Amino acid sequence: MRLILLGCPGAGKGTQAKLIAEKYHIPQISTGDILRSAIQQHTPLGEKVKEIVESGRLVPDEIVIQLVKNRLKQADCERGFLLDGFPRTVVQAQALHCDTAIDYVIDIDVPENELIKRLSGRRTHLASGRTYHILYHPPVVPNQDDVTGEPLVQRLDDQEETIKKRLAVYQQETQPLREYYQHFKEIEGIRKPTYIKVNGYASVEEIHHNILQGIST
């Protein structure tokens, strides 16, 4: 089972990816995790990724493609995988499909005003990476980490102006990607993936049910 999960920042891709990966016993490959790992390693590439992410821009295709393809070569991907948030552009998709067959492309659709509310409410404990939300998952004591009591922060990429910029860029670049998958042409025998669009303005359980129903039909 080889799956791609698409959706704007804040659409709930990470949550659904974890549930799907557990269901089908395949690794969840998140470009966000890959990029954060590169940043934490403090390599020249990681420092470049950090600067791009904090400015609200998208990481260039060539960097993301390189990181993802290296990940797909690992042994745990032999029986399948779930790509969380990749590809994000047609160029990335074409690079992927040159040598990789995909079974399903699942697109989680959420209205922009809901995305802004979800993302701007995030608060993070930087030392551990634990995240909260002022509405949906607040800490026991406002603005304090539940474990350490240390202050929580709103990351730069979770501030409203940065979010709007991220969403605008995402929509501009990924609308052609949606059209690409809806009119996908086989590439030298690589079969066409099934494109499934799911309403993401619902409960986690309902979204998950609708995804599994789309896969099984």
Contacts of 29 (CB under 8 A, 6+ apart): 68, 71, 72, 77, 81, 82, 83, 84, 86
Which tens digit of pLDDT belongs to each residue from 99-113? 888 999 999 999 989
Type of residue at 73: K
Domain count, the chain: 1
Return the pLDDT at 187: 63
Q: What pLDDT, on the 0 to 100 scale, is given for residue 188?
A: 56
CA distance 181 to 46: 31
Give the mean model confidence (pLDDT) for residues 18-31.
92
**pLDDT per residue as tens digits for the range 82-133:** 998 889 888 899 899 888 889 999 999 999 899 999 889 999 999 998 999 9
CATH number at 102 reads 3.40.50.300
Q: Which candidate in 71, 118, 122, 123 is catalytic? A: 122
d(CA 50, CA 44): 10
Residue 155 is among the residues annotated as catalytic for this protein: yes
Active-site residue flag, 88? yes
Going by C-beta distance under 8 Å and a sequence separation of 6 or more, which residues neighbour residue 140? 146
Q: What is the pLDDT of residue 125?
A: 94
Task: Find the domain containing 63 and state its range.
Answer: 2-216
Catalytic site includes residue 178: no
CA-nearest of 115, 106, 107, 147 to 130 is 147
Residue type, 178: R
Determine which one of 2, 71, 123, 166 is catalytic. 166
